[in-house]
Amino acid sequence: MINRTESALNRKFDLLLAMEEAGKLKPRKGNRAMRKMFNNKLALVGLVVFLIITLSSVFAPFLVDHDPQKIDLRGMLQEPSSEHLFGTDKTGRDVFSRVLYGGRVSILVGLGSALIAAFIGVGIGSYAGYKGGWVDLLALRMSEILMAFPQIILVLLLVSIVGQSLLNLIFIFVLTGWGPMYRLTRAQFLSLREEEYVQALRSFGLSTSVICYKHILPNALGPIAVNITLTTAMFILAEAGLSFLGLGVPLNIPTWGNILNVAQDLRVLQNYWWLWLPVGMVISLFVMSINFIGDGLRDSADPTQQG
């Protein structure tokens, strides 16, 4: 029975070897996680939408001729046309240019705050999860205090204390956002530090920082990248909500939330749909695209779902 099994395996091996020599069997090149990511149609759609909106905002000066801050009282509340794609607002400013320029600030607040919060949370969580001690205890208690409050309540409280400005809003988002990232990284490191390769690295006498940030951290980047995308979407929605209420970025700076601020008027909602509908659709599409990208990253980073 054993000889029969061995002969069958040998025949399969010889067949594969012959196919490889004939050029019919070619090894699959590239990273498996990236292939999984690009095979996800929703993730690809999300990536395309994300790039279109982001690049349009970055290169807004080359795409629009109208100044987003220029007031034209003779062109107030004009409907969408070839000259003004999204119409004009109550003071005659071009809504399309305001949406593009506003995307610069909104994306900066959302993505910038998420990246800074991730840098702080991952930096502390990596060391604390591997080493433990008083650093872990202090960071854990601080994150628990911040996460004990509903985030929107805490953000509103901090805005009323530090005041309204772009930098203050980024500071508030970072302060309220590093905790979940820290706890996620810490949980990953508590599991990974018991792996055999970590024990081997420790036995070779490598320093704690080298083991944490060079050898363990790359194996924990999958869930962290997913969390960054979700945090970015959450911060963009939070900025839009705060600016809609007049508590976010100052109203003189065009952001998606500040453009939506005019929708507080019932007359605007009923009669001037172009003042709020286009920017609302842009926000929805951008947040959905980030969530699609996050789902794709989650599926590609999960080893149990990789074929």
pLDDT band at residue 67 under the 50/70/90 scheme: confident
For 3, residues 6+ apart whose C-beta sits below 8 A from its C-beta are: none
Rounded mean pLDDT, 194-222: 82
pLDDT band at residue 9 under the 50/70/90 scheme: very low
Q: Which residues of 191-207 are buried (b: 16+ CB within 10 A; e: fewer)?
A: ebbeeeebeebeeeeee
Rounded mean pLDDT, 221-238: 87
Q: How many domains does the chain have?
A: 2
Judged by average pLDDT, the poorest of 7-11, 186-190, 229-233 is 7-11
Q: Could you tell me if 7 and 114 lie in one domain?
A: no
pLDDT at position 31 is: 61
pLDDT at position 93 is: 87
E-strand ranges in the chain read none
pLDDT in tens, 262-297: 777 778 778 888 888 888 899 999 999 998 888 888
% of the chain at pLDDT higher than 90:
11
Rounded mean pLDDT, 190-208: 81
Q: Could you tell me if 41 and 16 lie in one domain?
A: no
pTM of the model: 0.80
The three-state (H, E, C) secondary structure of 265-281, written as one string: CHHHHHHCHHHCHHHHH
Mean pLDDT of the chain: 81
Cα maximum dimension of the chain: 93
Question: What's the CA gap between 219 and 143, in Å, rounded?
Answer: 24
Q: Could you tell me if 10 and 49 lie in one domain?
A: no
Report the CATH number at residue 238.
Answer: 1.10.3720.10
Q: Could you tell me if 4 and 81 lie in one domain?
A: no
pLDDT at position 303 is: 52
Question: What's the CA gap between 108 and 102, in Å, rounded?
Answer: 10
Q: Could you tell me if 18 and 138 lie in one domain?
A: no
pLDDT in tens, 107-123: 999 999 999 999 999 98
pLDDT at position 200 is: 84
% of the chain at pLDDT higher than 70:
86
**Residue 213 DSSP symbol:** I
pLDDT at position 48 is: 92
Instruction: Let me know if 148 is exposed, middle or buried by CB neighbors in 10 A (0-12, 13-18, 19+).
Output: exposed
Q: Could you tell me if 228 and 148 lie in one domain?
A: yes
SS3 94: strand
**Residue 82 DSSP symbol:** S
Q: Could you tell me if 215 and 152 lie in one domain?
A: yes
Tokens 């034209």, residue located = 72
Q: Could you tell me if 100 and 22 lie in one domain?
A: no
Question: What's the CA gap between 299 and 302, in Å, rounded?
Answer: 5
pLDDT at position 258 is: 85
Q: Could you tell me if 17 and 157 lie in one domain?
A: no
Domain of 2, in residue numbers: 1-30
pLDDT band at residue 54 under the 50/70/90 scheme: very high
Q: 32 with 278: CB under 8 angstroms?
A: no
Residue 20 has pLDDT above 50, yes or no: no
Q: Could you tell me if 79 and 149 lie in one domain?
A: yes
Q: Could you tell me if 26 and 44 lie in one domain?
A: no
pLDDT at position 16 is: 44
Question: What's the CA gap between 176 and 165, in Å, rounded?
Answer: 17
Q: Could you tell me if 48 and 4 lie in one domain?
A: no
